[in-house]
Chain A
Amino acid sequence: MSEEISKDKPLKIDYTPPRERWMEPRVEFRKGTYGYPAASKHEKYLELPNPREWQPNEEDWKLPEDWKEIILKGMEDRLDRYRSFRLFLDICVRCGACADKCHFFIGSGDPKNMPVLRTELLRSVYRRYFTLPGKIFGKLAGARELTKDVLKEWFYYFYQCTECRRCSVFCPYGIDTCEMTMMGRELLNLVGCNINWVIEPASNCFRTGNHLGIPPHAFKSTVDFAIDELKEITGIDVEVPINRKGAEILFVSPSADYFASPHWYTFLGYLLLFHEIGLDYTWSTYASEGGNFGLFHSADLAKRLNAKIYSEAKRLGVKWVLGGECGHMWRVIHQYMDTLNGPADFLEEPVSPVTGTPFENAKSTKMVHICEFTADLIQNRRLKLDPSRNDKWKVTYHDSCNISRGVGLLEEPRYILRNVCNEFYEMPENTIRERTFCCGSGAGLGSDENMEIRLRGGLPRANAVKYVKEQYGVNLLTCICAIDRATLPPLLEYWVPGVEVAGVHELVGNALVLKGEKERTTNLRGEPIKGEEEELHV
């Protein structure tokens, strides 16, 4: 965390707009409010345009000579390729309903974080170069020249949007700022303005198969470590197949699950579950990433990274693919994968090998969400569960943006939670399900150098957590998103100390009664199963 942020100097939030008009581009690259630019070696590895060393807070961004032509040509090209782009630029009436729906606006008060103005940053340039009134009336018609300052503003604000799509729920025309941010970022990439927190994971993923850059042998040793740990906790020897040809199912999860904390415990949960039901499956080191930071950069990069899943499923000869707990991964898989890299006609329509349930909804893409899979197991009573093993937790559930507004997977995780823990409380209605608030760190904004913006963006979510903490004593926030699990702990520590973060399958792993297991004394975190107070009374 950067030094400037401490509780003694609380973040100021003021919703009064400044005196100067938004049409004058003005942006200050203050420490804590922007991500570092992409390292050129990663841009070179991915063969992206204009790789160089530069800094946003410096005057000279070392743009190519003809940067303006490149951007305008890029805009024209995308206007022809994306109906959403042209339509959403054209039809906004600036009613302002979206204004206080954005977590970054709520947490910062910066008017350019109102979704409507974020889009006006692009729209004003569109008017100037692509519409008749803009060409004739200029500023009077809300049109702006494309200048370097406008470009800098784009960089600042399109990397201050987590593509969470909350605004599009409230927009009377469904204008989706995520689409605008995606276009903005694609355009910025054309002149070499990317952030490292997006490009480095993407480049890692392209090379090693996962964002964290874990090579296959390290993957193997992390899995071995998990096997040892599970042996210690449960007394069971779990088998974890890797790159095994002929398995029925390929399992893909976000790489943070097997390398970061508290993701690790979710990973342990998966392994226990698959062991217990005797799943014929395999992990892959080549497709060892479900997440897709390419999505936060361009459709092409998303496609390049996503291609590995189907190609590996084909190489290994599996029947279908099962996917772990991750947010934007599921936006890609649900809304993009089949279109980008399908049709997956070499796979079979997914059917649960345990219950025989066909997953009709995944008939074409042939990839099933683990919460759909587990909910079906529980509903068919194929799992023996002891929810009291999670009794130290009072649980709430955070809908991840992409899972709710991208997929509509709302009930499955809740059904699982109600079966694996005894105390589950919902956060207030206007902060969950389709109205859920982003963690404030998605879409590549989760870096430490961006901490002030992350804390501000995380305020609405944290505020709702604080509410259930005060009301019901909630001490665990569950979620099915790897970015949430990585970025919410520091945010909650700042805003609501005393609430931990966990994946849903961590609690499944705790509650799951395994055949032949020893009496469990600790949960997957290695903490005593009984709450500390209870133990004292023994």
Chain B
Amino acid sequence: MGLWYSISGILLLVFFVVIGIEGIGLYSFFTIFIPYAAVLLFVVGFTYRVLKWASSPVPFHIPTVCGQQKSLPWIKPDNIDSPYTTGGVVKRLALDIFLFRSLLKNEKVDLEAPHRLLFRTSTLLWLGALAFHWSFLIIILRHLRFFLEPVPSVVVILQRVDSIFQNLLPILYISDLIIVIALGYLFIRRIIYPQVRYISLPSDYFVLLAIGGIAISGVLMRLIYKVDLVQVKEWVMAMLSFRPMPPKGVNLLFYIHLFFVSLFIAYFPLSKLMHMPGIFLSPTRNLLNVSRHRRHVNPWNHPVKVHTYEEYEDEFRQSMKEVGLPLDRE
């Protein structure tokens, strides 16, 4: 269900660009208005969402502890999985953000016999996710060459390394290859694993398809339907200096690519893609396990009705007296 909605949604959007460009010739609309609007939505939406999270306090100290606490001096504490210093918590977050360490712990449970469980390590999702996110990041960094003049040497080097196989396969970036494979895997697993399919919403497919659209249109522009990159850079620079004009010498594929990028950027703050900033704020990952050592303050800690010792003694005084328990008031 959700899958077909998403596929038709994506096709509809492609159709929208084709009609808009080939049919009506809305060049400025697609290359100036939409990208500007998308960036504006992104900046406003992203900031709004992050501030919204930040404005809710963390009332309780709830790290998910995954290692030995720091307690007695002769017991070796685990500063990454039960961090007790800021350095430890930074390492823990960094390992999760850059290496998806929690996902690496993944294991699959199966029934070996009716009531006998079998645990197997399951690293495919970790590998697929890591491959996707890293290649996506590298591709974004490579695109900096359109935004910066002169192109920083880091970006140039990255581009060289990424295209190290040029002699074998003309002009193929490693990151392009990996992202297409990884996206394919992430998409297919949503369809073939019954449980993942069961939990998937239309938006889950939609995001993958939209990024897939960006990747494939990008690869095609590089491999087959070449676009004049000098013209593209001129267009970007004009946009950045707020003297926009539509690019010349680009083909339909460029408009599709750009449209999907704009869509992705605009959709970002409205969607689960916000997991990117979200992980930094996750209270189960970014807190130190030192809650008995240092008091955590809850800003809304309101008074509650308690049952005082006086009330308790009033109720049980007689029986306490009979068995000789000490009393505050005879």
Contacts and interface: CB of A to CB of B under 8 A. Distances in A.
Contact of B125 (A95, A100, A173, A299): A95
B58 A365 contact: no
B325 A216 contact: yes
Contact of B307 (A87, A207, A215, A412): A207
A80 B56 contact: yes
B53 A83 contact: yes
Contact of B111 (A13, A80, A209): A13
A96 interface: yes
A202 to B, nearest CB: 11
Nearest to A244: B326
A141 interface: yes
Contacts of A360: 293
A176 B312 contact: no
A80 B54 CA distance: 10
Given A90-B53, A97-B103, A220-B323, A364 B117 contact: no
Contacts of A361: 69-71, 290, 292-293
A13 B56 contact: no
Interface in B296-315: 296-298, 300-302, 304-309, 312-313, 315
A174 interface: yes
A250 interface: no
B163 interface: no
A460 B116 CA distance: 9
Interface string A339-358: 11011000000000000010
Interface stretch (A55-63, A301-309, A485-493): A301-309
A132 interface: yes
A340 to B, nearest CB: 7
Contact of B297 (A84, A339, A363): A339
B64 A22 contact: no
B222 interface: no
A379 interface: yes
A94 B328 CA distance: 57
A93 B283 CA distance: 17
B81 interface: yes
B329 interface: no
- Please classify how large the interface on chain A is, using the bins under 10, 10 to 19, 20 to 34, 35 or more: 35 or more
A285 interface: yes
Interface stretch (B25-33, B192-200, B230-238): B192-200
Nearest to B198: A17
Nearest to B328: A315
Contact of A217 (B49, B292, B323): B323
B196 to A, nearest CB: 4
A221 B304 CA distance: 33
A404 interface: yes
Contacts of A96: 125, 193, 195-196, 199
A84 B62 contact: yes
Contact of A365 (B96, B282, B292, B309): B292
Contacts of A516: none
Interface in A122-162: 131-133, 140-142
B49 A90 contact: yes
Given A376-B72, A405-B64, A339 B194 contact: no
B125 A97 contact: yes
Contacts of A220: 323-325
Nearest to B66: A434
B272 A86 contact: no
Interface stretch (A29-37, A164-172, A385-393): A164-172
Interface string A19-58: 0011000000000000000000000000100000000000
A504 to B, nearest CB: 16
Contact of A97 (B53, B56, B106, B274): B106
Contact of B195 (A15, A303, A434, A463): A15
Contacts of B60: 299, 335-336, 339
B279 interface: yes
B44 interface: no
A173 B62 contact: no
Interface residues of B, number: 101
A299 B59 contact: yes
Contacts of B271: 133
A83 B58 contact: yes
B57 interface: yes
Interface in B93-124: 96, 100, 102-103, 105-109, 111, 114-117, 119
B58 A84 contact: yes
A221 B319 CA distance: 12
Most chain B CB atoms below 10 A, which of A95, A335, A495: A95
B278 A338 contact: no
Nearest to B101: A172
B242 interface: no
B322 interface: yes
A38 to B, nearest CB: 18
Interface string A158-199: 000000010011111111100100000000000000000000
Interface stretch (B151-159, B201-209, B213-221): B201-209
Contact of B102 (A169, A245, A406): A169
Interface in A270-322: 285-286, 299-300, 303-304, 307-308, 311-312, 315
A117 B320 contact: no
Given A10-B114, A86-B56, A338-B292, A209 B312 contact: yes
A215 B316 contact: yes
B201 A142 contact: yes
Interface string A211-237: 000011100110000000000000000
A87 B293 contact: no
A314 B233 CA distance: 72
Contact of B274 (A91, A304, A409): A91
Given A111-B195, A172-B96, A217-B322, A95 B129 contact: yes
B195 A17 contact: yes
Contacts of B291: 334-335, 338-339, 365
Contact of B72 (A116, A285, A375): A375
Interface of A: 10-11, 13, 15-17, 21-22, 47, 79-87, 90-97, 99-100, 106, 111, 114, 116-117, 120, 131-133, 140-142, 165, 168-176, 179, 206-209, 215-217, 220-221, 242-245, 285-286, 299-300, 303-304, 307-308, 311-312, 315, 333-336, 338-340, 342-343, 357, 359-365, 367, 372, 375-376, 379, 404-412, 415, 428, 430-431, 433-435, 459-460, 463, 495
Given A307-B306, A315-B309, 18 more contacts: A17-B197, A80-B55, A87-B278, A96-B193, A114-B199, A174-B284, A176-B64, A207-B312, A215-B319, A217-B322, A242-B325, A285-B325, A286-B309, A336-B61, A364-B295, A365-B295, A459-B117, A463-B116
29 contacts: A17-B194, A81-B300, A84-B284, A87-B278, A96-B195, A100-B109, A111-B195, A114-B195, A116-B199, A131-B270, A133-B203, A165-B64, A172-B100, A172-B102, A172-B103, A172-B279, A174-B96, A216-B316, A216-B320, A217-B319, A243-B325, A335-B60, A335-B61, A336-B61, A338-B291, A340-B301, A362-B292, A405-B65, A459-B115
Which 8 pairs across A and B sit closest by C-beta, in order of nearness?
A: A408-B69, A91-B278, A174-B284, A408-B65, A434-B66, A17-B198, A365-B292, A174-B285
Interface of B: 1, 5, 49, 52-62, 64-72, 74-76, 78, 81-82, 96, 100, 102-103, 105-109, 111, 114-117, 119, 125, 129, 193-204, 270-272, 274-275, 278-279, 281-285, 289-298, 300-302, 304-309, 312-313, 315-316, 319-320, 322-326, 328
